[in-house]
Chain A
């Protein structure tokens, strides 16, 4: 039987049935492409696990990532996450404020030093001593460095904390950087997206609680189970791309027929995320299914990669002035060369 302070007991007390719990574990194992036996291992591990202490720091952000998680379509998912973890500090969600709130963070750090999971959303301003974003008079930089010291691992949720995101966009007035630009001695997992898919956040949390480590990551720190494929490769409109059928405008016949949005600037071919498979709002749809191209929001510097509506093959810069100037220069040099050559020809003719 479950010990009273174990996660299983905690869930049972909260009215989460074993059936719901099994469904959650199976769904999470399936989402992460784990073998079928992993679902049972997850059930067993989560049942016996202590609730994972989590400190969630929000820095330069829009709260979209927290909204994504807490306003997720599936209330069970939200409930599962907050029953599975002990969210000891999250200044948007917690009831406490002021000194009481900061005290909660310090107590959680002290109680679970070296064991707690640190979740960060939002980028960290570094310009001018980091004055552009502070919490309780502490700069984001100082709070991150202090809190990261006792963390077992860090999860950077959202593109801002993973890669700098929109605050990092040119001209980056606050000197915004990602968590991984500051913290170098802790395992960091990036769960980018603007915002990330709620199921992805839940999946990686379940994995960490079950296995006590982060899942396998790609070269920019994203869990491979969710970020191994491009949106384009998993897109239901892909056959239209292969057939050469493209929507030319957002309201033409091609758009009404659901043809590929590549010509309208879709960044699906260069964007790695699980939107096309897991989808949003309980699997209802994702941006492309709603008729808009992918913005590439889970990729670094997505805001600075040219217009969202400029197709991928089109050069980023307007090259016409440079090409015209080069052509004029080429004609001038060619003309001078021809004049010199003509002069030589005339000189040779005179000598003859």
Chain B
């Protein structure tokens, strides 16, 4: 078994198993927690509109703080959108999802993917630079932050190296790329990358609570 076979075979299988186990474990553990009873009179009969509203509004900078948060949030949007384009727009990735789920959609031209990948890499490097140089952010950061950055950054870079055939033979680069994705999947449920799902849970819960209490969202 060569490295690519290992990556496409056992490595991905185990990564999927750990990912599925971790995701369901954490989500079930959180969603089934006992909620504190709220004895107050509800101001609104239904609370889910507040949940959706808060998910949206908290995704946008508050006008009062925009001059302080704009840079970080812009970088965040750039690399999140860039990642989405690369992950969901590249033909080989769509084949990967089709192989897993049976779902398929039209792909983007490779040039658009390469451009998006390059911008994403740039934004991710800027994000790391900001974290390392910002005095408060640096104090707040721990291993989880840096490792989560690493497992996000590595698949993008290895993927770009693979398509450009830079540094090693294509099949080796492809294997490393798949292995980096496997590492991302393994780390995803247990680190801060879990925010990709929990951000909606936490914001939704807060929004629903605010709606019930009649607070401004």
Chain A residues with CB under 8 Å of chain B are 230, 232-233, 241-244, 246, 262-263, 269-270, 300-301, 304-306, 310-317, 319, 322-331, 333-335, 337-339, 341-342, 345-346
Which A residues touch B10, using CB under 8 A? Answer: 317
B109 at the interface (CB under 8 A from A): yes
Interface pairs A-B: 4 shortest CB-CB: A334-B28, A330-B24, A314-B99, A338-B32
Instruction: Assess whether A246 is in contact with B91, with CB atoms less than 8 Å apart.
Output: yes
Which B residues touch A232, using CB under 8 A? Answer: 170
Instruction: Assess whether A326 is in contact with B21, with CB atoms less than 8 Å apart.
Output: yes
Interface-centre pick from A324, A326, A337 (highest chain B CB count, 10 A): A326
**10 residue pairs A–B, Cβ–Cβ below 8 Å:** A244-B109, A262-B92, A314-B96, A315-B96, A326-B24, A328-B24, A330-B26, A331-B25, A331-B28, A334-B29
Instruction: Assess whether A341 is in contact with B91, with CB atoms less than 8 Å apart.
Output: no
Instruction: Assess whether A322 is in contact with B16, with CB atoms less than 8 Å apart.
Output: yes
Give the residues from 12 to 54 in chain B that come closer than 8 angstroms, CB to CB, to chain A.
12-13, 16-34
Given contacts A243-B110, A316-B5, whether A326 and B32 have CB atoms under 8 Å apart is no
Using CB atoms, name the residue of chain B closest to A328: B24
Give bound CA distance, A286 to B109, whole Å. Answer: 26
Which A residues touch B217, using CB under 8 A? Answer: none
Instruction: Assess whether B33 is in contact with A270, with CB atoms less than 8 Å apart.
Output: no
Using CB atoms, name the residue of chain A closest to B32: A338
Q: 1/0 per position for B127-146, CB-CB distance to A under 8 A?
A: 00000000000000000000
Instruction: Assess whether B110 is in contact with A242, with CB atoms less than 8 Å apart.
Output: yes
B209 at the interface (CB under 8 A from A): no
Which A residues touch B100, using CB under 8 A? Answer: 315, 319
Partner of A338, one of B8, B33, B108: B33
Given contacts A306-B8, A315-B12, A327-B20, whether A335 and B28 have CB atoms under 8 Å apart is yes
Give bound CA distance, A325 to B5, whole Å. Answer: 23
Chain B residues with CB under 8 Å of chain A are 1-2, 4-5, 8-10, 12-13, 16-34, 91-93, 95-96, 98-100, 106-111, 165, 170-171, 174
What does DSSP make chain A's interface, helix, strand, loop or mixed?
helix
Which A residues touch B30, using CB under 8 A? Answer: 334, 338
The A-B contact count (CB < 8 A) is 143
Instruction: Assess whether A338 is in contact with B29, with CB atoms less than 8 Å apart.
Output: yes
Using CB atoms, name the residue of chain A closest to B111: A242
Given contacts A242-B110, A242-B111, A311-B95, whether A337 and B24 have CB atoms under 8 Å apart is no
Given contacts A312-B92, A312-B174, whether A317 and B21 have CB atoms under 8 Å apart is no
Least CB distance from B187 to A in Å reads: 16
Given contacts A315-B13, A326-B17, A327-B20, whether A341 and B33 have CB atoms under 8 Å apart is yes
Instruction: Assess whether A337 is in contact with B25, with CB atoms less than 8 Å apart.
Output: yes
Instruction: Assess whether A230 is in contact with B170, with CB atoms less than 8 Å apart.
Output: yes
Give bound CA distance, A325 to B108, whole Å. Answer: 34
Which A residues touch B21, using CB under 8 A? Answer: 326-327, 329-330, 333
Instruction: Assess whether A315 is in contact with B18, with CB atoms less than 8 Å apart.
Output: no
Instruction: Assess whether B108 is in contact with A244, with CB atoms less than 8 Å apart.
Output: yes
Instruction: Assess whether A263 is in contact with B22, with CB atoms less than 8 Å apart.
Output: no
Give bound CA distance, A328 to B9, whole Å. Answer: 22
Interface-centre pick from B1, B25, B33, B106 (highest chain A CB count, 10 A): B25
Partner of A326, one of B4, B20, B109, B110: B20
Give bound CA distance, A313 to B98, whole Å. Answer: 10
Instruction: Assess whether B28 is in contact with A330, with CB atoms less than 8 Å apart.
Output: yes
Which A residues touch B22, using CB under 8 A? Answer: 330
Given A326-B20, A330-B20, A337-B28, 11 extra CB contacts under 8 A: A233-B165, A311-B95, A312-B174, A315-B100, A316-B5, A322-B17, A325-B17, A327-B21, A327-B24, A333-B28, A339-B32
Give bound CA distance, A243 to B107, whole Å. Answer: 9
Instruction: Assess whether A300 is in contact with B2, with CB atoms less than 8 Å apart.
Output: yes
Partner of A242, one of B13, B106, B109: B109
Which B residues touch A314, using CB under 8 A? Answer: 8, 95-96, 98-99
Partner of A244, one of B27, B33, B107: B107
Give bound CA distance, A262 to B122, whole Å. Answer: 29
Least CB distance from B179 to A in Å reads: 13
Which B residues touch A334, using CB under 8 A? Answer: 24-30, 32
Least CB distance from A21 to B in Å reads: 37
Least CB distance from A24 to B in Å reads: 32
